[in-house]
Amino acid sequence: MIKISVIVPVYNTEKYMEKCLDSLTCQTIKDIEIIVINDGSTDKSKEIIDNYAKKYQNIKAYHLQNGGVSKARNFGLKKAKGEYITFLDSDDYIDDNLYEKMYDKAKENDADVCECDYIWEFLKKKRYDYLNKNIHPLLSMRAVVWNRLYKRELLINNKISFHEGVHFEDVEFCYEVFPYIKNFAYVKDVYVHYVQRDNSITSDRTDKLKDIYKVLDGTIQYYKKHHFYDEYKNELEYIYMRYIFGSSFLRMVKIKDHKIRKKMLKESYHKLLDVYPNYKENPYLKEKGKRNFYFRSINKFTFPIYCFLFHLK
């Protein structure tokens, strides 16, 4: 029986891929399949993949025309046969005993999803990212897919897949999975190493930053369609606000073109007001904390000031 299927989309990562694949082939758990999908790479990625597939029987190599990371992952989901499914980007790597510890923990708790922590690997420093278990699970969820094991039947039975053709695809996937999780498990002291590089597939592009609206709106519509919205309305409102004034805002203030930057930031602010005009009444926003103080302080007068100050950083 295959215990874990690891889906690895690849696009022009020849400098990083060997370290990624080495960390997978030396896992202490052996009953895993490694599904490597070459998404139309133009460098030596294909050659590296084929060499590893010849050397290791549990590596299954597929070569597709370029269609994006979501399409590659969805292809992998159709091929996966493991009891649990996970994902790993081809420029990242993992601790040698990561999947054994996660699988054992998942089985011990009959978990639908098992999560671990990760390390941001910058060129000259590292930053550890730990799960915050002191807030609502939906708010504590880190919207990435590569630090979790997902029970395969959970994804199949609920027809969960990646939204193709948009940036920030992990966000929608994670939020769509969440309402179906009955049993959750968490493993400490083993890590995914999240490598930061300037030209990674997650690097921000001005023409793709607006995709966060599609993803957030799509999440809301999904919850409404499947009758989860009323239960999680406050959490979804807070998440929407947090993205607009948080990570999305920080990406947009980095846009170099002043006119484009100003236009997109203004649109972002009004987008939140259109969807959640009364967001300041959100119960989570009223809780104490530096972050909430910042969120509460934003209005039509302070927003331009924050845009200017954060752009200078």
The domains of the chain are located at 4-195, 206-312
Cα distances (angstroms) measured from residue 287 to each of 273, 276, 291, 293: 21, 18, 10, 9
Q: What is the DSSP string of 49-77?
A: HHHHHHH-TTEEEEEE----HHHHHHHHH
- Is the pLDDT at 202 greater than 60? The verdict is no
Mean pLDDT across the stretch 34-58? Answer: 98
How far apart CA 305 and CA 157 sit, in angstroms, is: 48
- Is the pLDDT at 79 greater than 90? The verdict is yes
At residue 206 the predicted structure's pLDDT band, cuts being 50, 70 and 90, is: confident
The pLDDT value recorded for residue 198 is: 64
How far apart CA 155 and CA 89 sit, in angstroms, is: 19
What's the predicted TM-score (pTM) here? Answer: 0.94
- Is the pLDDT at 201 greater than 60? The verdict is no
Q: Strand 93-94 and strand 184-195: pairing? A: antiparallel
The pLDDT value recorded for residue 110 is: 98
Mean pLDDT across the stretch 115-138? Answer: 95
Tell me the pLDDT tens digit for each residue of 256-289.
999 999 999 999 999 999 999 999 999 999 999 9
Under DSSP, the state recorded for 162 is: P
- Is the pLDDT at 312 greater than 90? The verdict is no
CA atoms within 13 A on the CB side of 236: 24
- Is the pLDDT at 219 greater than 80? The verdict is yes
The pLDDT value recorded for residue 197 is: 77
Tokens coding 216: 């957030």
The pLDDT value recorded for residue 205 is: 64
Tell me the pLDDT tens digit for each residue of 6-27.
999 999 999 999 999 999 999 9
Mean pLDDT across the stretch 141-170? Answer: 96
> Which backbone phi and psi does 148 adopt, to 5 degrees?
-140, 150
Q: Strand 148-151 and strand 113-121: pairing? A: antiparallel
The pLDDT value recorded for residue 5 is: 98
Q: Strand 32-39 and strand 59-64: pairing? A: parallel
How far apart CA 175 and CA 235 sit, in angstroms, is: 11
Architecture (CATH level 2) of domain 4-195:
Alpha-Beta Complex (3.90)
Q: Check if the beta carbon of residue 285 is closer than 8 Å to that of residue 241.
A: yes
